[in-house]
Structure formats: structure tokens, C-alpha cells
Chains A and B, each alone.
Chain A
Amino acid sequence: MFIVIVGCGRTGSLLAGKLSRSGNEVVVIEQNPDSFALLPVDFSGFEIEGDAAESDVLIEGKIESADLLIVSTGNDQINYLVSQMARVNFDVPRIMVRTIDPSVEKMYEKEERFEIFSQISLLAENMINKIEREGMR
């Protein structure tokens, strides 16, 4: 599978390393070149330095042929912009977006092809599940 990952912070680099090792073709786009150091040694995909909000940078990452786009920067506005560009301009079939602020999830609600991962909602859900499973002590 050909995967483009936008943002190479802790989340992006972890995903990129694991996906690359399991045999996928991975391209990582990141603005700050120092962040590429977070990638594991045996990451064998491409590293592209640039602002993913620019069309040219996405084109350099061959986004039009991507099977999956993972947007994982730490900024909700950028995430929204990049995922919309990918859907509208480049017709990427599957887009996974990470959101920081849980209230942003609403913005994606009525759009198809998006899969939203809100870390705070996931965390809260996990905790609530555990509490409900074990009962109040």
C-alpha cells in the first residue's frame, strides 16, 4: 500500500516506522527537518521537507496516487486544510485525520471518506470503559 503521512512528530514518526517495516511504501511530509530524526533507523521511505498546506509539496509526495493519507500534525487548522485539499484536489480514497480538540470532530461529521481519531475522546472513552467495566470502587 502507498501511504502518505503528513506530520512527523511523535505520532507520525511512530506510524511511519511501523508501516514501513510491515512492507508499505511510506512518504512522510514535515516542515521541520529536525523531526525526521524521530524516525527509526530502518525507515526506508521518502522524507519530504516542506509545508503540507502547499499544493506543490503534496504533489512532490505523489499524493494523487496515495491509497491512504494520514494527517497527524499537532494543529487542527492545518489538519483540516490538508485533508480537504487531499479530498477535493487530489481525490485520495481514504483519509485518516488526527484531531487535538474534540470539538473539531463536528467539522468532519458530514464529510465522506474521512476517519477521525481524536486522541482526547479516545482517552476519555478508554477510561470511562474501564470504570464501567470494573464498577465504582
Chain B
Amino acid sequence: MKYKNLLISRYFLISKYTGIIIIFAGAAILSPLLFLLAFPEESSLAPHFLLAGGLSILAGLVLFTYGSRHQEEDVELSLNEGSIIVIFSWLGAIFFSAVPFITILDMSWSHSIFEVVSGWTTTGLSLVDVTTAPKLILIWRSIMQFFGGAGLAVIALSSLLPVHGMGLYMAEARSDKLLPHVKRSTMLIMKIYTFYTAAGIILYYFAGMPLFDSINHSMAAISTGGFSTQPDSIGHYNSLSIEVVTIVLMLLGTINFATHYTLLKGKVKTFFKNAEIRLMITLFIFLTPILMFFSLNSLYPMLSENFRITFFQIITALSTTGFSTISFAGWPIFANFIIILIMLVGGGTGSTAGGIKQYRIYLIFKSIYWEIKEQFLPRRSVSSNYLWRGENKFYVKDQHVKDVANYILLYLFTFFAGVAVHTAYGYSLLDSMFEFGSALGTVGISIGLLSPEAPLGIIWTQTIGMFLGRLEFFIILYAGIKLFKDGVYISKH
């Protein structure tokens, strides 16, 4: 009986925190209205956003007051409870954010949810026709990516709201600590993030992009989202300087915030020792020439053009952003296969990117190397293996390697399951791998399979893939299993 009361009081706490985050999501839905100052001709759309934002704030308030009524004192949150809060606040945010797409653009529920999940998870696959969509909708898509990149829980933790707890921070797939306190860490993350976005807007503007597009593209690039205001993405501008700015922003977005902090403190040497940076540089050095000379040189005979195009697409895939300057549909199979592999690798841990994450890939290759090396060492030798993470040496234990290997296997398993669903709908193996790899890694480049006419099964498979890929599986499993177990216990007693 006592345990049951304890459990129930925990769920009140969960409801309170979820409420706070959903209220915040409601405020985010209202934020596009600021742009009415610049585009007063679209003021007729305001009621739609007010409706969605109002509903969200109302729902959050109900959860919050209901949760805080039964609360005795502030207790600590475990990782499992943090997971439940994160999942429910993400689901709530996704649900309410979809409302403007339904009421303004008259899209179906499935399509709107797809678009919104693609926004919040910073994927960038889109079903909206950006040529006819109103400006408020365009900016709302970018704002979703901006907030989704940082993560709802991270923003809530960084704010002055009474939200704290390590469990919440870990649950949103952000485990690196920048400073020895979670509130100050998240504040620092938000400062770095906002600063880069503002710098991106200015750079784009000077590179010759209109101001409205600059704001949208900068938010979408730093968050490694990839929503564009043009139907053919960055390729629309056909400008070298804009592409260079995009490459820089995508790289910044895909680097771990802890690594950024090392760099900002001026420790350049430690920065280049970092596991993820090393893997990234190695990949660039090997893959760019391979793609250029073994596959694309017939397509782009000019060397400079070949380099420009290849390098851009490799970065867009590795950083899981999803801007593109060309159409992948015409590429040779080998080139597309390499792009699929890069999409599976993905960006850095603790950044805004998706995929398996460079750190995990690097660790697994290192551990294979360590295993071979130890085979040839004297029998009684003792070695401790380490790699660089953030600004510290990190000594790798077997348990850690096991966790990482499990994650990679689970990721690949989900990938193959999703590809299977795609092939069952009759798409070719390459197209299926490309599209689902893009959704699961929250990349957002498309080989042309996705369109408003695509079957609903495909739309939902990709929606689930994006959600799983962003929140890193285990959190969803933990939350689901805990909810189920507690539910069974409470109903039994």
C-alpha cells in the first residue's frame, strides 16, 4: 500500500513537470506571431496559432495544477521518470504543433504529424509545398527545428522555471556535462546555440540571401534540421558563398556542445584530439575523393564543380542536416550507397544531430583495434584504453563498450525493419534504404520516394523512425516498460 502511494505521488510529479514543458511548447507555438510585425498581411492566420498555442498552454496548466496539488516536497527524478516526462512532453508538443498545419494548410492528420515530427526531430523531410505556404507556416517550421535541436527538456532546464534534475537531462540523449551543474550546463548550451544561430543569420545575409530566408536557413542549419524555404533547398541560390556558410553552420551544428566549449576556451590541441573530430576528419579525407573519382566524375566532369557538390552532400549527410544542392535520384548506385553509410554514422553525441553518432562508431573501431593489439601483448601485461571526450581523457571500460555495441545493433535492427516495410510497399532496396536511413538518422535528404501521394504506411513508418532516432530508442523502451509495470502494480493493488 505504501509503495502504491509512493508510486502515485511520483506520477503527480511527472505530471507537473510534463505540464511545465507543454506550457513552454505552447509559448513556442505562439512565437511565429512575432513575425506578423514584418508581414502584417498574414494577420488573418493569427487565430489559428492562437488556438493551437492556447490549447497547449491550457493542457499544460491543467497537468501542472493537477500535479502540484498532490505534491509534498521536491524529490529527485530518476532516469526512468525523466524518460516518461520527455516522451509525454514531446508527444504533447508534437500534437499541438500540428494544429496550424491542419487548420491553415488543410493537410490531413497523418501528413501534419509527419511534418511536425520531422520538424521537432530536426529531420527536414517535408510534405508542405513551400512555394504556396504562408510565411508564418515557414517560420514555424524553422522555429520547431530550432527548439527541437536543443531539446525541450534542455530548454526547460536552462530557463528560470522550477525544473531541475539530472534524469531529465540524460533522458533527452544529452549526457555530456559542460559545467558541474545541470542548470548552468544547459544555460551554456543555449548561449552557444543562440549565438551560432544569430551569427548564421548575419553570415547568410551578407552572403546574399534575403533576410527572411536567412533567418529560416540559419535556424535549420545549426539545428541540423534542413527545412528550407525553397523547393530545391540551398541549390536554389546556386551561390558558392551561401554554400560555404551552410557548410560551416552544419559542421558547427554537428559538433558536441562539450567539444565546442573546449574550442571556445581556446584549447585547440584538445579539440583535435577529440574522438569525434578525428573520425569526422578521417571520413572527409577518405570519402570525398572516393566519391569524386570512383563515381561522380562522369556526372560532373569539371573538377572544381565535382568537389563542391560532393563535399556539400557528404557534410549534409554526416551532419544529418538534409540541405542539398542537387537531386540524389540521378546519382550512381555506389555514390548513393556511400551516402547511406554516412547517414547511418551521423553526427556527434550531445549535438543537435542524429544517426548512430560518430563517438559510438569511433569507439567500436577502437575497441576492435585494442582487441587485436592485446592479442600480441605479453600475457601479463596490463593496459588501460582511453580516448578523448570533451576536454578530458576517458578511460573505456568493457561495460561501456557493451552498451555502445548494443545501441548500434538496436539501431541497425530498427533500420532493417524499416527498410523491410518500405520494400513491402514495392520500392527498390536502394530507395528504401536511402529513405528510411534518412528518416531514422533524422537527416532529411530524399531520393524522391516521399511525396504527398506516398502511401500512409510509409508516412507513418518514417514518422516513427524519426521519433525513435531522435530520442535514441532506450529512453522510449525505459519509459514504456516503467509505465507498463507501474500500471500493472497500481491496478492490482
Contact = CB atoms under 8 A, between A and B. Distances in A.
Interface of A: 2, 20-21, 23-27, 40-46, 60
Given A25-B179, A25-B180, A27-B180, A44 B392 contact: no
Contact of A25 (B77, B164, B169, B181): B181
Contacts of A43: 166
Given A25-B184, A60-B392, A41 B177 contact: no
A59 to B, nearest CB: 12
Interface of B: 76-79, 164-167, 169, 177, 179-185, 392
9 contacts: A20-B180, A23-B183, A25-B184, A40-B76, A42-B76, A42-B164, A44-B166, A44-B181, A46-B180
B148 to A, nearest CB: 23
Contacts of A42: 76-77, 164-167
Most B C-beta atoms less than 10 A away, residue of A42, A43, A44, A46? A44
A41 B78 contact: yes
Nearest to B391: A60
**Which of B79, B180, B185 is most buried by chain A, counting CB atoms within 10 A of its CB?**
B180
Contacts of B78: 41
B76 A44 contact: no
Nearest to B165: A42
Nearest to A60: B392
A68 to B, nearest CB: 13
Contacts of A41: 76-79, 166-167
Nearest to B397: A33
A20 B179 CA distance: 12
B181 A45 contact: yes
A26 B392 contact: no
A24 B183 CA distance: 10
A38 to B, nearest CB: 14
A46 B167 CA distance: 15
Nearest to A26: B180
Contacts of A46: 177, 180
A44 B169 contact: yes
A44 B76 CA distance: 11
A20 B76 CA distance: 12
Contacts of A25: 179-181, 184
Contacts of A26: 180-181
Given A25-B180, A26-B180, A27-B180, A44 B77 contact: no
**6 closest residue pairs by CB, A with B:** A44-B182, A42-B76, A45-B180, A25-B180, A25-B181, A46-B180
Contacts of B183: 23, 44
A42 B169 CA distance: 10
A2 B177 CA distance: 15
A17 B177 CA distance: 16
Nearest to A43: B166
Nearest to A4: B180
B160 to A, nearest CB: 12
Contacts of A20: 180-181
B400 to A, nearest CB: 12
Nearest to B81: A41
A42 B182 CA distance: 9
A23 B167 contact: no
Given A41-B166, A44-B177, 11 more contacts: A21-B164, A25-B179, A26-B180, A27-B180, A40-B76, A41-B77, A41-B79, A44-B166, A44-B169, A44-B183, A45-B177
Contacts of B184: 25
A90 B482 CA distance: 47
Nearest to B392: A60
A50 B165 CA distance: 26
A20 B165 CA distance: 10
A118 to B, nearest CB: 28
A58 to B, nearest CB: 14
Contacts of B164: 21, 42
B240 to A, nearest CB: 43
Contacts of B79: 41
Contacts of B182: 44
Nearest to B393: A60
A41 B78 CA distance: 6
A23 B77 CA distance: 16
Contacts of A44: 166, 169, 177, 180-183, 185
A127 B184 CA distance: 42
B493 to A, nearest CB: 25
A46 B184 CA distance: 13
Contacts of B177: 44-46
A117 to B, nearest CB: 23
B385 to A, nearest CB: 15
A116 to B, nearest CB: 26
Contacts of B76: 21, 40-42
Nearest to A62: B180
A23 B74 CA distance: 14
Contacts of A40: 76
Nearest to B185: A44
Nearest to A24: B181
A2 B184 CA distance: 12
Best-surrounded residue of B77, B167, B169, B181 (most CB of chain A within 10 A):
B181
A44 B166 CA distance: 6
A43 B177 CA distance: 12
A65 to B, nearest CB: 11
Contacts of A2: 180
A62 to B, nearest CB: 9
B50 to A, nearest CB: 36
A131 to B, nearest CB: 35
